[in-house]
Amino acid sequence: MSILQTLTVLKIGGNVVDNPSLLTEVLKGFSTWGGYKCLVHGGGKIANVYLNKLGIEPHMIEGRRVTDAPTLEVVTMVYAGLINKQLVGLLQSMGCNAIGLSGADAAVIPAKKRPSDPIDYGFAGDVILSDIPGYTIKSWLEDNLTPVFCPLTFDKQSGGLLNTNADTIASSVALTMSSFFRVRLVYCFEKNGVLLDPDQENSVIPTLNAADFLQYKNEGVISAGMIPKLENAFTAIAKGVSEVCICGPSAFRKENPIQGTLIS
Amino acid sequence: MSILQTLTVLKIGGNVVDNPSLLTEVLKGFSTWGGYKCLVHGGGKIANVYLNKLGIEPHMIEGRRVTDAPTLEVVTMVYAGLINKQLVGLLQSMGCNAIGLSGADAAVIPAKKRPSDPIDYGFAGDVILSDIPGYTIKSWLEDNLTPVFCPLTFDKQSGGLLNTNADTIASSVALTMSSFFRVRLVYCFEKNGVLLDPDQENSVIPTLNAADFLQYKNEGVISAGMIPKLENAFTAIAKGVSEVCICGPSAFRKENPIQGTLIS
């Protein structure tokens, strides 16, 4: 048995992307990590700022964006252009050889348009996991590049981009790459981890297994918003990802970092 | 002496990018070309459309954009996001494994900010030719990828993007890659080639050498706008590019293509 090298896939949420000082702290930490690494970023509120500036009303159903054609044009500009290149530039200035990618680039995140029934989310994409070109990503990593994925996937048949949740892109990349590497998947969001009490930032649950999760869920301890994130995490572990961590920007502090919640 | 493989660097101008039917025709032709290839695209009028929509007055001096901070944000969205990903998506749907790049991605087009004296163009970049990572581009080409460059370069020290003329990016890539390949540099713009009479589309000069160019320039035959393009072309030839061609979209037609002007 060979000893696999480690790949860390870090997903940073919109609240981190939107906060320049948190963002710099997180990227500084990330840029010093050893081993292979990828970054996946969310869209943040910047898309809504530009939609509003351009007179397009943002439209969400159950926390997910409804992406009509004008909205797709704006999120393509904001995600693949503004945010992605800002992150790549910051990482490059920190000595990390980042390369920004949408799902269309090298057709790296193939997807199909989500069916319009029961809810029509417009140009929303569901990742086709089996079509992700893992060998291409592997070759970039081995060339010392750090891929930076924006939350846009690609429909090869139409040639068009699709809007996809960044958490899903992160877990899809992590799952695909677990054929080649020991993969750690790290979700960095605005809280310090999974909290026992959502009002107490110091109530981080240090480790969580499937049995604990079920119990906490049944007891109503874990907040509704956290449940899909954790279900994704347990699915990733079940399918070959070695480790999932849910943490906040405090995990990237040099002094007294808060490690977050380790899912095992 | 080894027989070098051919790399074609195609630059498409704004008037091609802005015209969906011309663009499709050109990309369809490009996608079927054999050998290694890169695409470089200009910005087109789409940047001005978005600048106007966002209440930012486009500002040009001598045909070059003055790029203040808000303008840089918009051109980053439009060039690296909207146009670049649209082109990559179209090429992918035509079976060409395109990957879109700004100068920041893998720090592929390093530049320094142009001095503000005598004219302050703001965030405008002058390419640092010696720092282009030719081996990285070579490895992408050998992995069967087709790089698609947008007209943004990268200042590694500040971590910021800079606005740079797409013709310059095309000739910089062509020059760098001529260490590895026999390089053909093709400029595709709205005319059919270098014209003897600017009002006669069928007055294309089929081949042009430096002596002819000097004579035509002195006689005032070649239009003012064409002179910097041709001077760039002759510089590229002098520095190692094998062939420069200036043509129009008609060169990509299946039936009766007009080959344009070959610079030698």
Contacts of A94 in chain B (CB under 8 A): 159
Number of H helices, E strands in chain B: 9, 14
Instruction: Answer yes or no: are the C-beta atoms of A89 and B159 closer than 8 Å.
Output: yes
The answer to whether the Cβ–Cβ distance between B82 and A104 falls below 8 Å is: no
DSSP letter (8 states) at residue A110:
B
3-state secondary structure of A224: coil
**Confidence bin at B2 (pLDDT 50/70/90):** low
Alpha helices in B33-178 (DSSP H): 46-53, 69-75, 84-93, 134-142, 166-177
DSSP letter (8 states) at residue B208:
E
Asked if B71 has any chain A CB less than 8 Å from its own CB, the reply is no
3-state secondary structure of B43: coil
Taking only the tens of pLDDT, chain A with its 264 residues reads 467 899 999 999 988 999 999 999 999 999 999 999 999 999 878 999 999 999 999 998 887 889 999 999 999 999 999 999 999 999 999 999 999 999 999 999 999 999 999 999 999 999 999 999 999 999 999 999 999 999 999 999 899 999 999 999 999 999 999 999 999 999 999 889 999 888 888 899 999 999 999 999 899 888 777 888 898 899 999 999 999 999 999 999 888 888 899 998
Asked if B158 has any chain A CB less than 8 Å from its own CB, the reply is yes
Instruction: Answer yes or no: are the C-beta atoms of A55 and A125 closer than 8 Å.
Output: no
3-state secondary structure of B61: strand
Q: Which two tokens stand for residue B140?
A: 């992408």
Looking at residue A4, its pLDDT comes to 86
3-state secondary structure of B202: coil
Instruction: Answer yes or no: are the C-beta atoms of B164 and B151 closer than 8 Å.
Output: yes
Looking at residue B244, its pLDDT comes to 96
- The dihedral built from the CA positions of residue B173, B175, B180 and B186, taken in this order, carries a sign that is positive
The answer to whether the Cβ–Cβ distance between A77 and B73 falls below 8 Å is: no
Contacts of A156 in chain B (CB under 8 A): 92-93
The answer to whether the Cβ–Cβ distance between B97 and A85 falls below 8 Å is: no
Residue B1: pLDDT above 70? no
Q: Which two tokens stand for residue B204?
A: 């294309």
The answer to whether the Cβ–Cβ distance between B82 and A78 falls below 8 Å is: no
Asked if B52 has any chain A CB less than 8 Å from its own CB, the reply is no
Distance of alpha carbon B37 from alpha carbon B145, whole angstroms: 9
Residue with tokens 């901070």: B69
Instruction: Answer yes or no: are the C-beta atoms of A205 and A215 closer than 8 Å.
Output: no
| Helix (H) or strand (E) run with residue B158 in it | none
Looking at residue B23, its pLDDT comes to 95
| Helix (H) or strand (E) run with residue B232 in it | helix B226-238
Q: Considering chain B, what is the average pLDDT of its residues?
A: 93
| HSE, side-chain direction, 13 A CA sphere, residue B82 | 26
Residue B239: pLDDT above 80? yes
Interface of B with A in 100-119 (CB under 8 A): 100-102, 104-107
Interface of B with A in 213-242 (CB under 8 A): none
Query: Testing the interface with A: which of B105, B108, B131, B164 to mutate, by most A Cβ within 10 A?
Result: B105
Q: What is the largest CA-CA distance in chain B?
A: 58
**Confidence bin at B88 (pLDDT 50/70/90):** very high
Looking at residue A221, its pLDDT comes to 86
Contacts of A20 in chain B (CB under 8 A): none
Nearest neighbour of A158 by CB, restricted to B82, B93, B104: B93
Q: Which two tokens stand for residue A191?
A: 């809280």
Query: Testing the interface with A: which of B72, B76, B83 to mutate, by most A Cβ within 10 A?
Result: B76
CA distance A91 to chain B (A): 8
Distance of alpha carbon A85 from alpha carbon B263, whole angstroms: 36
Interface of A with B in 116-155 (CB under 8 A): 136, 139, 143, 145, 152, 154
Q: Which two tokens stand for residue A156?
A: 């090869």
Strands (E), chain B: 6-12, 36-41, 60-61, 64-65, 98-101, 111-113, 125-127, 146-149, 152-155, 160-163, 182-188, 207-208, 243-247, 261-263
CA distance A56 to chain B (A): 12
Amino acid of residue B16: V
| Helix (H) or strand (E) run with residue A44 in it | none
Number of H helices, E strands in chain A: 9, 14
